[in-house]
Amino acid sequence: MSTVTSTPLPQTSAPLLEVKNLTKYFSIQGGIFSTEVDRLHAVDGVSFSIAAGETLGMVGESGCGKSTTGRCILRLIEPSSGDVMFEGQSVTQMDKHALREVRRDMQIIFQDPFASLNPRMTVQAIIGEALTIHKLTNNPNDYQARIVQLLETVGLNADHMRRFPHEFSGGQRQRIGIARALAVSPKLIVCDEPVSALDVSIQAQVINLLEDLQAKMGLTYLFIAHDLSVVEHISTRVAVMYLGRVVEIAPSRNLYTQPRHPYTEALLSAVPIPDPKAKKQRIVLTGDVPSPVNRPTGCHFHPRCPRAMERCKVEEPLLKNVADQHQAACHLND
Ligand code: SF4
């Protein structure tokens, strides 16, 4: 296993965000009357909390529901059921006005910085839009000064203000996306695969920037990624998702050194290790992730699990405590 130097657990235990039994399904319509013929279960009973100042890494293959979870938290997608509590208030029950207010505190950074920035707007207009919407300044001098300050905070400068997104590299565009999120001084940022579209060398720079910003501003992150190597150093705790469910969640150190779910073990075996002489056996998972419309019976992971037993085909494992702050959903822990 690799050496873990993850962010220490924060002193405070008061959750900033609590996600309770969150579910999102998409209706599949069919027939001449366009009635519901099936459901795609994108998120299926997901629960977790994030303390202020903490980073929860959320990992899983494409289609496992991690991005849908992130968007449901901000209600960019309406959840089907369950609750999202932010500072003790139910986001899911909020009316439009309250939701707009709370969105100042909860921002999102998207995977593709080019697609998420309007190509017809200058950097000044992109970052300034949030200041205007939330009426954070109506003085033109303050407005300009705040934009310059935000650009400098993310490693850009005043010369970049009047340029358009296509004039920047991928890493710079992601910095613009981060400046836009920071414009409203949020408490929580959902980082939805923020480095997946970037070169490996640039990924580390953006992650370091996010870590610096967290230290300076006391930010809280839900950091979504598709592999464990990306979230290793930034996460306080890590949640592993498979087919819409959390199958393991633990403090980073425990998850990377003592995984308790075969899916986590497989993901970990794919994490490169810095020492070229050190040997690690790669666990290759056979087959693709099953369709979230026709999920396997019992443990949803059983058709791909190298350690599957007979009972796994029929008996669904529940997420339960396996160690301090460590939960996993696997019959091997019984
Ligand atoms: Fe594998 Fe069975 Fe554990 Fe599922 S419950 S992860 S199939 S061993």
Instruction: Report the alpha-carbon distance of residue 67 to residue 151 in Å, rounded.
Output: 27
Instruction: Report the alpha-carbon distance of residue 75 to residue 90 in Å, rounded.
Output: 11
Q: State residue 3's pLDDT score.
A: 41
Angle ∠(244,257,51) on CA atoms, nearest 5: 55
Both structure tokens of 272:
């490169």
Instruction: Report the alpha-carbon distance of residue 70 to residue 190 in Å, rounded.
Output: 6
Which pTM was predicted? Answer: 0.92
Q: State residue 321's pLDDT score.
A: 97
Among 242, 261, 331, say which to mutate for ligand 1: greatest number of ligand atoms within 8 Å of CB: 331
**Domains and their CATH numbers in the chain:** 17-105+186-333 (3.40.50.300), 119-184 (no CATH)
The closest-lying atom of ligand 1 relative to the alpha carbon of residue 247 is: 6
Strand partners, 221: 55, 189
Instruction: Report the alpha-carbon distance of residue 168 to residue 126 in Å, rounded.
Output: 14
Kindly tell me the sign of the dihedral angle through the C-alpha atoms of 67, 72, 74, 77: positive
Going residue by residue through the chain (334 aa), what tens digit of pLDDT does each one get? Answer: 344 444 445 444 569 999 999 999 999 988 888 888 888 999 999 999 999 999 999 999 988 999 999 999 999 999 999 999 999 999 999 999 999 999 999 999 998 877 889 999 999 999 999 888 888 887 888 899 999 999 999 999 999 999 999 999 999 999 999 999 999 999 999 999 999 889 888 999 999 999 999 999 999 999 999 889 889 889 999 999 999 999 999 999 999 999 999 999 999 998 877 666 666 778 888 877 888 898 999 999 999 999 999 999 999 999 999 999 999 999 999 9
Q: State residue 13's pLDDT score.
A: 57
Which residue's CA is the nearest one to ligand 1's atom 7?
A: 302
Q: State residue 50's pLDDT score.
A: 97
Taking CB atoms and a 6 Å cutoff, what residues make up the pocket around ligand 1? 261-262, 299, 301-302, 305, 307-309, 312, 317, 330-332
Instruction: Report the alpha-carbon distance of residue 79 to residue 90 in Å, rounded.
Output: 13
The closest-lying atom of ligand 1 relative to the alpha carbon of residue 315 is: 5
Are the beta carbons of 151 and 159 closer than 8 angstroms? no
Q: State residue 2's pLDDT score.
A: 40
Which residue's CA is the nearest one to ligand 1's atom 1?
A: 308
Which residue's CA is the nearest one to ligand 1's atom 5?
A: 330
